């Protein structure tokens, strides 16, 4: 049974998707903490309703980014998790934190990486004129959305889409992809080989 900590900055809908799949037994894991940089994040209510401890590391309460980074690292160590999932965590992690939890952090991004990294990925996709977009769950490394890809789910782009309608349809797929990736990690079915995250078949029972 793997221990899971969550980093979130906002509403936490992907967080809720993982909570639901832990609760129904799909994911063999348990939560140790929600860590948020935003004391007003709706994700806090989701955690409290699920009985998950909350750590608020308020970004705006620190004079320097380095102080925030140190406090976040301390909180993550205190969470003592096997896996850290970023579900709408809106700040780049510093290199020290990334190295400390290398191979133990995953993020979800609303595009089919390596295309359209960073913010406003849905708008980037529409501006480029792609016909297929989607979402990617990947390991976190020192780059921006550049870690090994675990799962991708496609979403067809229509001529009537704007970034908001496309984002809504991608979010539906995110709510499937993130729990699936967490399940794979908790079942020890992901093997990192350089650039590739290989998925092992389920163990026979």
* 3-class SS of residue 171: helix
Cα–Cα distance measured from residue 151 to residue 97, given in angstroms and rounded to the nearest whole number: 23
Q: Look at the block and give the residue holding tokens 């993130």.
A: 178
Cα–Cα distance measured from residue 78 to residue 37, given in angstroms and rounded to the nearest whole number: 16
Alpha helices by DSSP H, listed for the chain, are: 13-23, 43-50, 65-79, 95-100, 121-128, 163-186
Residues 125/137, Cβ–Cβ less than 8 Å: no
pLDDT in tens, the chain (205 residues): 999 999 999 999 999 999 999 999 999 999 999 999 999 999 999 999 999 999 999 999 999 999 999 999 999 999 999 999 999 999 999 999 999 999 999 999 999 999 999 999 999 999 999 999 999 999 999 999 999 999 999 999 999 999 999 999 999 999 999 999 999 999 999 999 999 999 999 987 6
Q: Is 109 a catalytic residue?
A: yes
Domains and CATH numbers, the chain: 2-199 (3.40.50.170)
pLDDT value at residue 184: 98
């Amino acid at each position: 049974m793997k221990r899971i900590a969550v980093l979130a900055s906002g509403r936490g809908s992907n967080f809720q998707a993982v909570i639901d799949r832990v609760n129904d037994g799909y994911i063999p894991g348990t939560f140790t903490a929600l860590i948020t940089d935003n004391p007003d994040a709706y994700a806090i209510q989701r955690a409290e309703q699920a009985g998950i401890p909350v750590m608020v590391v308020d970004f705006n309460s620190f004079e320097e980014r380095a102080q925030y980074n140190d406090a976040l690292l301390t909180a993550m160590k205190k969470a003592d998790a096997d896996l850290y999932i970023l579900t709408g965590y809106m700040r780049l992690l510093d290199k020290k934190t990334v190295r400390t939890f290398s191979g133990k952090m995953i993020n979800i991004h609303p595009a089919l990486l390596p295309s359209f990294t960073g913010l406003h990925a849905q708008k980037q996709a529409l501006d480029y004129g792609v016909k297929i977009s989607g979402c990617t769950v990947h390991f976190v490394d020192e780059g921006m959305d550049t870690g090994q890809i675990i799962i991708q789910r496609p979403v067809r782009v229509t001529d009537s889409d704007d970034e908001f309608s496309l984002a809504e349809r991608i979010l539906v797929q995110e709510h499937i992809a993130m729990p699936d990736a967490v399940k794979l990690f908790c079942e020890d079915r992901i093997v990192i080989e350089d650039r590739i995250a290989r998925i092992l078949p389920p163990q026979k029972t």
